[in-house]
Amino acid sequence: MSGSEGPNRDRWDVIVVGGGQAGETAAQYASQFSGLSTVLVEEDLIGGECEYWACRPSKALLLPVEAQSQGRDLPGVREMIAGRSLDVPAVLRRRDDIAFHYGDSQEVDFLKANGIDLVRGRGRLAGERTVAVTGSDGDVRTLTAEHAVVLATGSSAYVPPTDGLADAFPWTSRDVTALREVPRWVVVIGGGAVACESVTWLRALGAEATLVHRGPTLLKTMEPFARDFAARHLAEAGITVLLDTNVTRVKRPDAENSGVGRLHGGPVTVTLDNGDQVEADELVVAVGRRGGTDDIGLETVGVAAPHGYLDVDDQLTVVGTDWLYATGDLTGRALLTHMAKYQARIAGDAITARAAGGSGTGALTTAEYDAVPQVVFLDPPMSQVGLTEADARSRGIDVETAEFDIAAVSGAAISREHYDGRAKLIVNRATDTLVGATFAGSGTTELLHSATIAIVGQVPVSRLWHAVPSFPTVSEIWLKLLETLRQRRRQP
């Protein structure tokens, strides 16, 4: 049966609040093969941040940067593009295509095709298994769930209480991904993936860019060599990277909330804790996220979110309840689309199993976080899965590592003239299995999943020896890493 929009009913088996990647997937998995009726409640565009203001548009803005730099490093192409810069309007048009022109008809079609009903409006818990939805006209309707309510209200950009910052209407992740105007001078505050990725495309689109980060290194959850790799390449792209630097004050006399992706008024002056001042046309704040726990009625069911996120168990059940689930960014566990969808698949399947009288705690309905993969789409890109060496050691794992320069691999050296890249494996000596891997360098992003499979499958290094990488591809880095381990093991 196909789903419908705004149906005239008030009871479903499952209610999902929040229609981002987590909510859509939870609704799909709860209903797809179970016969359970499901309704999705969404106050904005179905698809969430990922589709319109995060992953998809940001990658559409970044891939031309990487393609251009690859071309500049490849004789034959280099001469063809010499002296030319990116075609900004064409890049933004493609970004708009990838962001579905900020419309959600394709997602509504997906819901309908999967038998999921849709109610537009702001959802709020109003007691056990009950959700009150306020529509854009102010009307409130009350929905009741037979089995479960899933909260998937995601996250939004955090704007810290720095003097003058909020009053300057800084760009957040929404503006910088949906940009309509390229600032001539921009300051980006932050040192995580949003800051590093966005400063990369802003620079490539023509901005003079300064990145200000309070910590000593960028991307602090990555291996130290990868952090240095990122900082080096940002600097080589002409970005001024200021580490160990705090913003103490922001001044923008003509601040104006002129719309998403437009310059938010006149020039802005950013004062740093060393007394220096930086002038810019725009300021981007990218210092993390806030969980979507505000005003969703948690108090009506006795649930607290003291850290801004919801505590869940391995089936994504909210701790202290047996009918309320949370998935995606709202759990604060791993703020990534693929992890949001993974959690949602587990929650959906657990709900289905429990509605049929089962425990919902089987192998397929228990979330694991030992092999969380992440690609940071810089130029060149970097990716990591599982534990860093430091994480593994802090967990008491007897660690063996292998590192290798990817430029030594034929596939890499052929792919561009001045290849720069490095890879590292973290092995648990006791089990002879991989617990972590990091790759940095062009052409490495698609390698990450091989490492994820090796970790999740607990494949012994002795078996990996028989997984022969093709010549001449970048994947031959696996062979170099395994040879490094082999050589070390043979040394007396």
Ligand X SMILES: Cc1cc2nc3c(=O)[nH]c(=O)nc-3n(C[C@H](O)[C@H](O)[C@H](O)COP(=O)(O)OP(=O)(O)OC[C@H]3O[C@@H](n4cnc5c(N)ncnc54)[C@H](O)[C@@H]3O)c2cc1C
Ligand Y SMILES: NC(=O)c1ccc[n+]([C@@H]2O[C@H](COP(=O)([O-])OP(=O)(O)OC[C@H]3O[C@@H](n4cnc5c(N)ncnc54)[C@H](O)[C@@H]3O)[C@@H](O)[C@H]2O)c1
Shortest CA distance to 185 belongs to which of 277, 301, 78, 293? 277
Cα separation of 173 and 150, whole Å?
26
Shortest CA distance to 51 belongs to which of 31, 24, 21? 21
- Kindly tell me which of 44 and 96 has the beta carbon lying closer to ligand X: 44
Tokens describing residue 363: 């192998």
Contact by Cβ (8 Å): 218, 231: yes
Out of 214, 251, 338, 480, name the contact with ligand X by CB under 6 A. 338
Of 339-358, binders to ligand X (CB under 6 A) are: 340
- Asked whether the CA dihedral 291, 294, 298, 302 is positive or negative, the reply is positive
Cα separation of 333 and 325, whole Å?
14
**Contacted by 384, from ligand X, ligand Y, none: CB < 5 to 8 Å by type:** none
Residue 381 as a binder of ligand X (CB under 6 A): the answer is no
Of 141-180, binders to ligand X (CB under 6 A) are: 152-155, 173, 177
Say how many CA atoms lie within 13 Å of 253 toward its Cβ: 1
Instruction: Answer yes or no: is 55 a known binding residue.
Output: no
**Contacted by 50, from ligand X, ligand Y, none: CB < 5 to 8 Å by type:** ligand X
**Contacted by 44, from ligand Y, ligand X, none: CB < 5 to 8 Å by type:** ligand X
Locate all alpha helices (DSSP H) within 205-287, ordered by sequence: 224-236
Helices 21-31 and 105-113, packing angle to 10 deg: 20
Q: How do beta strands 289-291 and 130-134 pair?
A: unpaired
Cα separation of 41 and 491, whole Å?
61
Out of 287, 305, 310, 447, name the contact with ligand Y by CB under 6 A. 287
Out of 31, 172, 317, 374, name the contact with ligand Y by CB under 6 A. 374
- Report the nearest approach of ligand X to the CB of residue 43 (Å): 4
Out of 14, 15, 16, 22, name the contact with ligand X by CB under 6 A. 22
Residue 54 as a binder of ligand X (CB under 6 A): the answer is yes
Residue 341 as a binder of ligand Y (CB under 6 A): the answer is no
Cα separation of 463 and 317, whole Å?
37
In this structure, the chain runs to a length of: 492
Of 180-239, binders to ligand Y (CB under 6 A) are: 189-195, 197, 214-215, 220
Residue 280 as a binder of ligand X (CB under 6 A): the answer is no
Shortest CA distance to 328 belongs to which of 94, 54, 59, 31? 54
Contact by Cβ (8 Å): 163, 178: no
Phi, psi of 43 (to 5 degrees): -95, -10
Instruction: Answer yes or no: is 155 a known binding residue.
Output: yes
Instruction: Answer yes or no: is 251 a known binding residue.
Output: no
Instruction: Answer yes or no: is 451 a known binding residue.
Output: no
Instruction: Answer yes or no: is 366 a known binding residue.
Output: no
**Contacted by 283, from ligand X, ligand Y, none: CB < 5 to 8 Å by type:** none
Stretch that binds ligand X, among 11-19, 76-84, 178-186, 362-370 (CB under 6 A): 11-19
CA 140 to centroid of chain Cα atoms: 33
Out of 71, 265, 288, 297, name the contact with ligand Y by CB under 6 A. 288
Residue 388 as a binder of ligand Y (CB under 6 A): the answer is no
Instruction: Answer yes or no: is 54 a known binding residue.
Output: no
- On the question of a cis peptide bond just before residue 373, with omega within 30 degrees of 0, the verdict is no
Contact by Cβ (8 Å): 2, 112: yes
Stretch that binds ligand X, among 41-49, 250-258, 456-464, 480-488 (CB under 6 A): 41-49
How many residues bind to ligand Y according to rule CB under 6 A?
22
Q: How do beta strands 282-285 and 185-189 pair?
A: parallel
Contact by Cβ (8 Å): 99, 260: no
Cα separation of 323 and 438, whole Å?
39
Instruction: Answer yes or no: is 332 a known binding residue.
Output: no
SS3 146: strand
Helices 193-204 and 55-72, packing angle to 10 deg: 50
Q: Exposed, middle or buried by CB within 10 Å (0-12, 13-18, 19+), for 112? A: middle
Out of 56, 147, 252, 289, name the contact with ligand Y by CB under 6 A. 289
Instruction: Answer yes or no: is 194 a known binding residue.
Output: yes
Of 26-45, binders to ligand Y (CB under 6 A) are: none
Of 152-191, binders to ligand Y (CB under 6 A) are: 160, 189-191
**Contacted by 477, from ligand Y, ligand X, none: CB < 5 to 8 Å by type:** none
- Report the nearest approach of ligand Y to the CB of residue 153 (Å): 16
* Binding-site annotation, residues for NAD(+): 190-197, 288
Binding-site ranges for ligand X (CB under 6 A): 17-23, 41-44, 48-50, 54-55, 58-59, 122-123, 152-155, 173, 177, 194, 292, 296, 328-330, 335-338, 340
* Binding-site annotation, residues for FAD: 59, 123, 153-155, 329
Binding-site ranges for ligand Y (CB under 6 A): 160, 189-195, 197, 214-215, 220, 286-289, 335-336, 374-377
* Binding-site annotation, residues: 59, 123, 153-155, 190-197, 288, 329
